[in-house]
């Protein structure tokens, strides 16, 4: 089934610069229906209040980290199927394992480019 390029994507990062980078790269890939959040708690609220089809989240954030946000998402039966990509500078093996155990669908290490983002998105949501 073809990927709907109008899917709602949630970009989570405490760094506004990073959110802009990801949003612009998504735009280059043809995905313009994007919403954003500055930490895990804000993101969790967004997921509760609107239909989200894909989450791209940073790990290190104040208030609620990416892994805590991921666990919060997966704790709710209704959100278990939302594809979740973790984007982070933390390349530690134990972090990757923890993220996988928490239910992450893929993992991108910074710095990354549009090609890597596309490759990971394809693995998670299918070819586009």
Partner 1 sequence: MTKDQKENFQAHLDRLASSKEEMVPISEVRQIIDAVRDMFEGNFQGEDLSMLGELGELARAINRARKELREFSPQALNDEHLPNASEQLDTIIKTTEQATGKIMDNCERLGGIHERLKERIAGSEIAASDPDLLASLDDAVSESQAYITEIFEACNFQDLTGQRIQKIVKTLREVERQVLRMVIVFGLNKEKGKSLDSETKEKMMNDAELLNGPALPGQSMEQEDIDDILDKLL
Residues of this chain that interact with partner 1 (CB under 8 A) are 15-18, 20-21, 24-25, 27-28, 60, 89-94, 96-97, 100, 105-114, 116
Shortest distance in whole angstroms from residue 80 CB to partner 1: 15
Q: Which one, 40 or 120, has the nearer CB to partner 1?
A: 120
Shortest distance in whole angstroms from residue 88 CB to partner 1: 10
3 state DSSP class of 44: helix
Length of the chain: 128
Shortest distance in whole angstroms from residue 73 CB to partner 1: 17
Q: Which one, 49 or 102, has the nearer CB to partner 1?
A: 102
- Residue in 104, 118, 111 with CA at minimum distance from that of residue 26: 118
């Amino acid at each position: 089934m073809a990927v709907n390029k109008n899917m709602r994507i949630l970009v989570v990062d405490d760094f506004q610069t990073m959110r802009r980078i990801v949003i612009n790269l998504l735009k280059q890939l043809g995905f313009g229906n994007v919403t954003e959040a500055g930490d895990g708690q804000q993101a969790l609220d967004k997921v509760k209040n609107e239909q989200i089809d894909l989450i791209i989240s940073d790990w290190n954030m104040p208030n609620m980290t990416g892994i805590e946000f991921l666990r919060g998402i997966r704790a709710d039966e209704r959100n278990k199927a939302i594809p979740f990509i973790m984007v982070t500078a933390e390349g530690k093996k134990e972090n990757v394992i923890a993220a996988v155990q928490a239910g992450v669908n893929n993992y991108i290490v910074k710095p990354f480019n549009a090609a890597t983002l596309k490759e990971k998105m394809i693995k998670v949501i299918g070819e586009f």
